[in-house]
Amino acid sequence: MSKYWSAVVRGLTPYVPGEQPKLSKLVKLNTNENPYPPSPHALAALRDELGEDGATLRLYPDPNADRLKAAVAHRFAAFGMAPANVFVGNGSDEVLAHAFQALLRHDRPIRFPDVTYSFYPVYCGLYGVDYEAVALDEDFAIVVDDYLQPNGGIIFPNPNAPTGRLLPLDGVERIVAGNPDSVVVVDEAYIDFAGDAIPSAAALVAKYPNLLVVQTLSKSRSLAGLRVGFALGHPELIEALERVKNSFNSYPLDRLAIAAAVAAMEDEAHFDATRRAVIESREALVAEMAKLGFDTLPSAANFIFARHPQHDAGTLAAALRERGIIVRHFRSPRIEQHLRITIGTDAQCMALLAALREIL
Ligand code: PMP
């Protein structure tokens, strides 16, 4: 605390991201990064953008990232998406932050699950948004009817984090259709790992003017380090986000980020191959974890959420760490006995299983 701090800053409880260790030898399964490299086309685009002498870096990037909006719209063209339906930001965290301020800050409290992405209450604190945490059921599933009561807005990740549980698209649609007077934000950071078919609410955007779907290139496109996320919604919702963005930072995406993100969005083959590899490894890991006695929630994400009936989760996380493997353990109500484990390469999953066999 300092006397120079504003009242707002004094009142903040900032988000704590998972550790980014300085040691490179660790098996890092704690922040849901993709274990595979990004599209080679994205790397080529980075080099092209830099050129021989990096001269383009003298110049500001396109403040509207029009090429990227076009590439995102193109990917969702089957759902009728045009560039006017697209907002882009510096990671989906920034997109979400703007959504809290632009679309979720009204007179009534917003609703989100009691077990969910821990950044949501942080944004509420930053922007002065009241919220009600709505309990997931005992299997950590979203109860649709709980979101059909008066509210100032709704936000939930689908699949949810850190549980990995998916709300099927008809459930999402019931929530969106049942709330014509408030905005429903569906945070689809992990949706591309749901299965062969991707049950994205992007399919509903053209039908519902109150739906905002947020996605990221951090997970299924292996570009967490580049910081690119986007939203799809009715042009009026997008305009609200643009108004906040243009009152905050005109150039949230730099030239390199725009160039590589466009190439990554265009590389369907790489996207499909890597997301399928992660899904396959997840299913194999869940089966092996079951043999070790773990209960794992059904996951539609690039991580699993598991507990062992006989072993304390905090102790397990510490023992894994001693063996050079880091997973995420949340000391929060209802989930303090669970571990969230990112799906790594098959070699990393094997290292995890070997360590667990030793510990148990
Ligand atoms: N939403 C959820 C549910 C997440 O878990 C994350 C990753 N921490 C994000 C959004 C933000 O991801 P990014 O800012 O890298 O796009």
Q: Ligand 1: distance of its center to the CA of 219 in Å? A: 8
Answering whether pTM is above 0.95, one says yes
Residue of minimum CA distance from atom 2 in ligand 1: 189
Q: How far away, in angstroms, is 51 Cα from ligand 1 center?
A: 31
The alpha carbon of 344 and the centre of ligand 1 are apart by a number of angstroms equal to: 17
pLDDT tens digits, one per residue of 68-92: 999 999 999 999 999 999 999 999 9
Q: How far is CA 152 from CA 107, 121, 248, 297, in A?
A: 6, 15, 24, 30
Give the residues surrounding ligand 1 with Cβ less than 6 Å away.
91-93, 117, 157, 161, 187, 189, 216, 218, 224, 229
Q: Which two tokens stand for residue 238?
A: 């997008």
What per-residue confidence (pLDDT) applies to 23?
74
Point out the ligand 1 atom lying closest to the alpha carbon of residue 17.
8
What is the position in ligand 1's atom list of the atom closest to the CA of 218? 15
* Closest-lying ligand 1 atom to the alpha carbon of residue 31: 8
Whole-number pLDDT of residue 244: 98
* Residue from 93, 341, 342 whose mutation best tests the ligand 1 pocket (most atoms within 8 A of CB): 93
Atom of ligand 1 nearest to the CA of 92: 16
CA 100 – ligand 1 centroid, Å: 15
Instruction: Please identify, by atom number, the ligand 1 atom nearest to the C-alpha of residue 216.
Output: 16
* All domains of the chain in start order, with CATH: 18-38+269-359 (3.90.1150.10), 40-266 (3.40.640.10)
CA–centroid distance, 190 to ligand 1, in Å, is 9
| pLDDT score recorded for residue 261 | 98
Dihedral in degrees, nearest 10, Cα atoms 227, 92, 42, 199: 160
Residue 337 structure tokens: 């006995």
Tell me which of 30, 92, 142 to substitute to probe ligand 1's pocket, judged by most ligand atoms within 8 Å of the beta carbon: 92
- Ligand 1 centroid to Cα of residue 226, in Å, is 13
Ligand 1 atom closest to residue 116's alpha carbon, by position in its atom list: 3
- d(CA 357, ligand 1 centre) in Å: 31
> Could you tell me the distance, in angstroms and rounded to a whole number, from the CA of residue 291 to the centre of ligand 1?
31
State which ligand 1 atom lies nearest to the alpha carbon of 18. Answer: 8
Query: How far is residue 226's CA from residue 24's CA, in Å, rounded to a whole number?
Result: 19
Ligand 1 midpoint to CA 300 (Å): 15
Go through 170-185 and write b for each residue having 16 or more CB atoms within 10 A of its CB, e for each that does not: ebbbbbbeebeebbbb
pLDDT score at 2: 95
Q: Which of 32, 117, 166 to mutate to test the pocket of ligand 1 (most atoms within 8 A of CB)?
A: 117
Taking the chain (360 residues) in runs of 10, the rounded mean pLDDT of each run is: 94 90 87 98 97 94 98 98 98 98 97 98 97 98 97 98 98 98 98 98 98 98 98 98 98 98 98 98 98 98 98 98 96 96 97 97
Check residue 312 and give its pLDDT.
98
**Checking DSSP bridges between strand 131-134 and strand 110-113, what pairing results, if any?**
parallel
Angle between the N-to-C axes of helices 346-359 and 268-291, in degrees from 0 to 180, rounded to the nearest 10 = 20
| pLDDT at res. 57 | 96
C-alpha atoms less than 13 angstroms from C-alpha of 184 in its C-beta half-sphere: 27
State the pLDDT at residue 245: 98
CA distance 201 to 142: 16
* DSSP-assigned letters across all residues of 314-330: HHHHHHHHHTTEEEB--
Nearest CA to ligand 1 atom 6: 189
Q: How far is the CA of 209 from the centre of ligand 1 (A)?
A: 24
